[in-house]
Each structure stands twice: as structure tokens, then as C-alpha cells.
Amino acid sequence: MTTALTIAPILAAPAPAGTPLDDARAQLTEAAQFLGLSDGLHRLLATPRREVTVSIPLRRDDGSQDLFIGHRVQHNFSRGPAKGGIRYAPNVDLDEVRALAMWMTWKCALLDVPYGGAKGGVRIDPRNYSANELERVTRRFTSEILPVIGPEQDIPAPDIGTDEKTMAWMMDTYSVARGHTVLGVVTGKPIALGGSLGRATSTSRGVVDVALAALASRGLPIASSTTAAVQGFGKVGRGAARFLADAGLTVTAVSDQYGGLVSTGGIDIPALERHVDLTGSVVGFEGADPLDGAELLELDVDLLVPAAVEGVLTAENAPCVQAKVVVEGANGPTTPEADSIMRENDILVVPDILANAGGVVVSYFEWVQANQAYWWTEAEVEARLKERMIGAWEQVSRYAGSKGLTLRTAATALAVERVAEAHTLRGLYP
Ligand code: NAD
């Protein structure tokens, strides 16, 4: 076992108000009260099973040294190995990783994939480092958390600031340490290294599968008369914009961290993608007008897809949201206060643990294929993904309708109930 490793179950200390962890715990409390869970079980589910915090020294290309802090939080293993992404961002902190790990547990349970939840992160701005430096950071981080990851323990995947290259380095570092190739240790790998066809677009496809079902449930046609705005033009937002346009909707606005674009007649998404490939941002695209990124959330559109970062829909801007349907591509984009305001305004909010679960579903498919060394076609992957996403949408909307709950509380309650049942069936050791 490597050094610099702290593994400790952390008791559920209060999280500062308004943080993702506070939001995640508030959602759990609502579900626990609805389900009548005991205090002991509620506390167990509010608390990560295992946390690892490591320091990651980096030898920079110029010979100087830098140091980063990384975390891996495993929230729950009751239904199987832990599963969740690795984020590289300058604002990564332990509480945020705890919240994201908890949401992963609910997401896996809701989509009925046999995993618990985890999340990892390194506090680094990847844009300031070369590919060689990022490779060294990734390999050192992997070797520090190596004792707690593995295809039967905890399976990382890409998230903000990481991609299939990061996963290839993680897989290689883990495999070298084990002395043989272990394809199932991470998902979101390049296709040539045991990645799944359809994985790269899976979260966006799942977002759009659910968004189209949600629009139809509100009587909105899947046609050019229905408009959409997408916040974030990364791995999730870009594909979501493309698939919404492919489905026939008019995408009138998009944004990224540098700014936004609006065009009431619709943005030509393939042309915008070419612009982003060349420049790295949506800003400066000539086929639309510039827009302040924050204004995108308040535009008069039918569908709003926040697909960037958490905490963007707040008590301040939620009263100004005009969309009829909000589909959470990002994790935790809506604060509980914003959620109540949108409920009062009869806006249908499809929660993250349902809407963006396509990535973990196809991660599961990738893990199954890697463990069996037998690969499916892209059409098979997409058909199975759609079946799961629509199945979960139908379960959640039926449950919400029959119990008089919002989609978020219904989704969380269904997921928490499954995890609680697994925990209770296994019993408490010793
Ligand atoms: P990414 O890094 O590929 O893209 C993030 C995008 O958001 C970028 O375009 C960035 O410029 C933009 N952005 C950042 N801050 C912004 C702001 N304030 N306003 C507007 N745009 C902003 O990350 P991603 O993988 O697309 O993840 C986006 C969200 O989706 C995260 O919450 C992530 O946890 C969640 N998610 C991702 C996946 C996946 O498969 N990648 C799966 C489930 C959930």
C-alpha cells in the first residue's frame, strides 16, 4: 500500500448552507422522511462509507515542483462496487466531492445498475498544465488511490476537466501496478482500449431521451416550434444541443464559461461545433448574437438544459425562469430554494439523477463488455440506453404522480428505498 493515504469514515457533520453537500443532504432528508426511514439508517445514508485524501506532487516541465490535493469519496457499496467520475477543477473541495458521490449512489440505484456511488477530484486548473504534466498528475493520483479502486471495488470515469485520455493513463497505471491489463478498472476509455461504442455521447443522449419524454408529457410537440437553451458546451451540453437539434427542436441559445450566444431563429449546431473545435469556445461564432451567459437561464424557451456546473439556478434567478421544462444535464444545478420556486411556477424539473444518468448506464455497459471481453455494436448500446432511460423516466413519473411528489423527490425516494432495502437485506456487520 502507498503512503499519504487517509481512509476514514466521516460522520455527517453539518455542511455550510447553500453548498452542494447541504443540497444533497436536504434532498435525502426529504426522501427519508417520506419513506419513514429510521434516524440510524438516514444518518448512515448521509455519511460516506470511505474517504481518501491525498497530496499529489508534480514535477513541472520547467523542473519546478507543484502540489495538488486530490480526493476519492465512496459514498455507498450496498448494491455493488462504487462508481463515479474524477473531476479536475480549481474549485474541487471535499464537501463537493461528498455531494457528488451521494448523487452517484442514487443515480445507480435509480437506473438499476449494480453499483454504489463514488466521486473523485483534484484541485487543479487543467488548462494551466501541459499534457505531460496532466499525465504525471493522473498517474500519481491513481497510484495514491490505487488501494481503494478496482473493477470490483470502485470504478472511476471522466467528469469535468478529464477525458478518455485521463482514463487511459489511469487504466495503464493501475494495470502496471497489478502486473496485468485490467480493462474494467475505469470506464470512459478510448475505444481502442476497451471503451464502449456510444459511451462518449451517452450522457447527452440520455438527457435528450428524457427531455423529449418530458416535453411530450407537457403536451409540447417535438418540432421546430419547440425551443431549447443549453448552458455548457462541454461533454454533456454540446451533445445535448446536437441531439435536440437532430430531433427537430430549435436550439435558440447556448453558453460556456466564456459567454453565450442567442438566435431566435435557431443556432446551426454543426457549424457552431466546428467553431468550438477551432477556437475552444462558443464566443465569437458569427451565426448568432452574443449573450451574457447568466441571461441564458432566464430566456423565453420551452426547454432549459443546465449542463455546466452546480448551483446555477438559485432563489435569485429561479423566479425569472420562463422555460416550461428544465432537464438537469449537470449535477446539482438547482438549489432547493430554486426547486420550490419552480414547482410553484409549475415548471417541470427533471432531476439530475434521472436526466444525466445515461453516462453511468453506458459506463456499466462498458464494464460488462470489458469484463466479458465481448463488444456490442453502437446500435445495441444506444437501444439499451434508451430503453433504460425511458423505463426510469416512466417509473419516476408514475411514482411522482401516484404519491403526489415532485420528480426529484420521487426519483430520490425510489433510489433511496432501493439502497436502504439492499442495506437492510445484507444486515449490519458485525
Ligand atoms: P465539461 O468540462 O466537458 O464541460 C463543462 C462545460 O460547462 C464547458 O463548456 C464549460 O465552459 C461550461 N461552463 C463552466 N462554467 C460555466 C458557467 N458558469 N456558465 C456556462 N457554462 C459554463 O464537463 P461535462 O462532463 O460536460 O460536465 C458538465 C456537468 O455534467 C457536470 O455537472 C458533470 O458533473 C455533469 N455530468 C457529466 C457526465 C459526463 O458523462 N461527462 C455525466 C453526468 C453528469
- Residue 14 is predicted with a pLDDT of 73
Residue to probe by mutation, ligand 1, list 108, 309, 328, 363, most atoms within 8 Å of CB: 309
Contact 245, 389 (CB under 8 A): no
Give the C-alpha distances (Å, rounded to integers) separating 80 from 151, 212, 325, 423, 425. Answer: 11, 31, 33, 11, 13
Residue to probe by mutation, ligand 1, list 159, 167, 204, 363, most atoms within 8 Å of CB: 159
What type of residue sits at position 174?
Y
Nearest CA to ligand 1 atom 23: 160
* pLDDT digit string, tens, across residues 149-193: 999 999 999 999 999 999 999 999 999 999 999 999 999 999 999
C-alpha cell at 246: 437532430
Given a cut of 80, whether residue 387 has pLDDT beyond it is yes
Give the C-alpha distances (Å, rounded to integers) separating 24 from 150, 173, 250, 263, 415. Answer: 26, 33, 33, 35, 13
Atom of ligand 1 at shortest range from CA of 158: 41
Atom of ligand 1 at shortest range from CA of 258: 11
Per-residue pLDDT, averaged over 65-71, amounts to: 98
Residue in 119, 189, 235, 324 annotated catalytic: 119
- Residue 16 is predicted with a pLDDT of 79
Share of the chain above pLDDT 90, in %: 93
**Which residues 6+ apart lie within 8 Å of 101 measured at CB?**
48, 73, 74, 75, 82, 84, 117, 118, 119
**Per residue in 352-375, is it b (16+ CB within 10 Å) or e — as a string?**
bbbbbbbbbbbbbbbbebbeeeee
Given a cut of 50, whether residue 1 has pLDDT beyond it is no
CA–centroid distance, 210 to ligand 1, in Å, is: 18
- Distance between CA atoms of 235 and 50, rounded to whole angstroms? 28
- Distance between CA atoms of 151 and 72, rounded to whole angstroms? 15
- 17 pLDDT band, cuts 50/70/90, is confident
Nearest CA to ligand 1 atom 40: 359
User: Is the CB of residue 293 below 6 angstroms from any atom belonging to ligand 1?
Assistant: yes
- Distance between CA atoms of 320 and 404, rounded to whole angstroms? 25
User: Is the CB of residue 255 below 6 angstroms from any atom belonging to ligand 1?
Assistant: yes
- 34 pLDDT band, cuts 50/70/90, is very high
User: Is the CB of residue 257 below 6 angstroms from any atom belonging to ligand 1?
Assistant: yes
Contact 34, 417 (CB under 8 A): no
- Residue 18 is predicted with a pLDDT of 79
Per-residue pLDDT, averaged over 343-362, amounts to: 97
User: Is the CB of residue 161 below 6 angstroms from any atom belonging to ligand 1?
Assistant: yes
User: Is the CB of residue 30 below 6 angstroms from any atom belonging to ligand 1?
Assistant: no
Given a cut of 80, whether residue 5 has pLDDT beyond it is no
Burial level of 84, CB count in 10 A (0-12/13-18/19+)?
buried
User: Is the CB of residue 331 below 6 angstroms from any atom belonging to ligand 1?
Assistant: yes
CA–centroid distance, 422 to ligand 1, in Å, is: 32
* pLDDT digit string, tens, across residues 291-308: 999 999 999 999 999 999
Active-site residue 83, yes or no?
Answer: no
Nearest CA to ligand 1 atom 29: 330
Residue 62 C-beta-side C-alpha neighbours within 13 Å: 3
User: Is the CB of residue 96 below 6 angstroms from any atom belonging to ligand 1?
Assistant: no
CA–centroid distance, 75 to ligand 1, in Å, is: 22
What type of residue sits at position 335?
T
User: Is the CB of residue 187 below 6 angstroms from any atom belonging to ligand 1?
Assistant: no
C-alpha cell at 187: 470506464
CA–centroid distance, 404 to ligand 1, in Å, is: 32
Nearest CA to ligand 1 atom 21: 256
CA–centroid distance, 238 to ligand 1, in Å, is: 9
What is the pTM for the complete model shown? Answer: 0.92
CA–centroid distance, 40 to ligand 1, in Å, is: 35
Residue to probe by mutation, ligand 1, list 236, 297, 314, 328, most atoms within 8 Å of CB: 236
- Distance between CA atoms of 397 and 359, rounded to whole angstroms? 21
**To the nearest whole number, what is the mean pLDDT of the chain?**
95
Atom of ligand 1 at shortest range from CA of 312: 18
CA–centroid distance, 161 to ligand 1, in Å, is: 8
- Distance between CA atoms of 144 and 150, rounded to whole angstroms? 13
CA–centroid distance, 25 to ligand 1, in Å, is: 22
Atom of ligand 1 at shortest range from CA of 157: 40
